């Protein structure tokens, strides 16, 4: 069983669950419009190799959410010993399938499979996860492309809470290709002054303390303490860590931020769970819809979603 999270003062919580619900509703309305225009549903293909329990949960959730949004869901479940050539052949087939607008290969893959080679095989125009090197390059130089879902969701939450981010100082703790690096690029595009911090950053608390925006994505339970955070800062906690609960036999989910303490200092903070997590699937649906409109050569207003 999992302990529940104690609430903080009203107005401080950035409610990712509510924001994600609104985004998914908007995706659903636009998906219906797409179907009427294209005479087909927008389609997301998800490939799962092996039987990793967490990956199975994620894939089920993504399939369910895709159908709820009025889009077509194509699931491909392969055994753990699948040959790399067979997996690449499947991806190539999905690349040319006109019913498929987005392709997602669930990570991690079994060790005998080269994740980078698999990602590189996905068409950049169907890479709704935003992991392809072409989309990473497009983000770096400011060209349109798909952005990884979690950092884009974080940016949406920040802009909803703060409005313009121009001129603010932001610190991203974590330098992964999935969250840290693209998050920094997104903030830079919003005219923030951005620092990417990590495990080897000297005087990390002092670096974080100067930030107006803190994005924690390091995978270390409750690492960011209250005295690391400048009073009035906005804190986005990407971490999801399962730790022992307060009662025997129970566990609880915590982020990379000491939520109870930091919430007394920050002006706004995302909880764990219920903050960034719900945004990831919502943005995946959003990216799939954007891909569908582009693949069908239909116009989607830049501010529609």
Question: For residues 165 and 169, what is the distance between their CA atoms, to the nearest angstrom?
Answer: 9
116 is a catalytic site residue: no
Q: Which two tokens stand for residue 60?
A: 């089920």
62 labelled catalytic? yes
106 is catalytic: yes
Q: Which two tokens stand for residue 132?
A: 């392809």
Q: Which of 165, 282, 244 is nearest to 2 (CA)?
A: 244
**177: which 2 tokens?**
């290709």
Q: List the beta bridge partners of residue 105.
A: 47
Q: What is the DSSP letter of 126?
A: G
Catalytic residue among 129, 212, 256, 258: 129
Rounded distance between C-alpha atoms, residue 56 and residue 63, angstroms = 11
Token pair in block for residue 32: 């219906």
| Residue 219 to residues 33, 60, 99, 176, 184, Cα–Cα distance (Å) | 39, 24, 37, 11, 17
How many CA atoms does the CB half-sphere of 211 hold within 13 Å?
A: 28
Nearest to 291 by CA among 159, 104, 106: 104
- Cβ contact 256:154 at 8 Å: no
Q: Three-state DSSP class for 196?
A: strand
Going 119 to 147 to 172 to 272, the CA torsion angle's sign is negative
Q: CA 134, CA 130: separation in Å to the nearest integer?
A: 9
Catalytic positions are 62, 106, 129
């Amino acid at each position: 069983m999992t302990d529940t999270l104690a609430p903080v003062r009203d107005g401080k919580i950035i409610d990712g669950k509510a924001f994600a619900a609104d985004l998914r509703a908007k995706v659903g309305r636009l998906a219906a419009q797409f179907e009427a225009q294209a005479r087909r549903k927008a389609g997301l293909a998800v490939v799962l190799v092996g039987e990793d329990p967490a990956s199975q949960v994620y894939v089920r959730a993504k399939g369910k959410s895709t159908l709820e949004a009025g889009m077509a869901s194509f699931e491909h479940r392969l055994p753990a010993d699948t040959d790399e050539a067979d997996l690449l052949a499947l991806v190539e087939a999905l690349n040319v399938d006109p019913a498929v607008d987005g392709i997602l290969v669930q990570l991690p893959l079994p060790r005998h499979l080269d994740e980078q080679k698999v990602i590189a095989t996905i068409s950049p125009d169907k890479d709704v996860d935003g992991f392809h090197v072409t989309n990473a390059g497009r983000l770096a130089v400011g060209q349109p492309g798909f952005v990884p879902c979690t950092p884009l969701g974080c940016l949406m939450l920040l802009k909803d809470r703060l409005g313009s981010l121009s001129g603010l100082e932001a610190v991203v703790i974590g330098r992964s290709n999935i969250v840290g690096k693209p998050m920094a690029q997104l903030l830079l595009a919003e005219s923030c002054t951005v620092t990417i911090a990590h495990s080897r950053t000297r005087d990390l608390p002092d670096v974080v303390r100067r930030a107006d925006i803190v994005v924690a994505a390091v995978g270390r339970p409750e690492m960011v303490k209250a005295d690391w955070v400048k009073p009035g800062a906005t804190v986005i906690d990407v971490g999801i860590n399962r730790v022992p609960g307060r009662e025997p036999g129970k566990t609880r989910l915590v982020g990379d931020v000491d939520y109870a303490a930091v919430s007394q200092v920050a002006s706004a903070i995302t909880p764990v769970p219920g903050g960034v997590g719900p945004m990831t699937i919502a943005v995946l649906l959003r990216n799939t819809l954007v891909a569908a409109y582009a693949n069908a050569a239909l116009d989607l207003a830049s501010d529609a979603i």
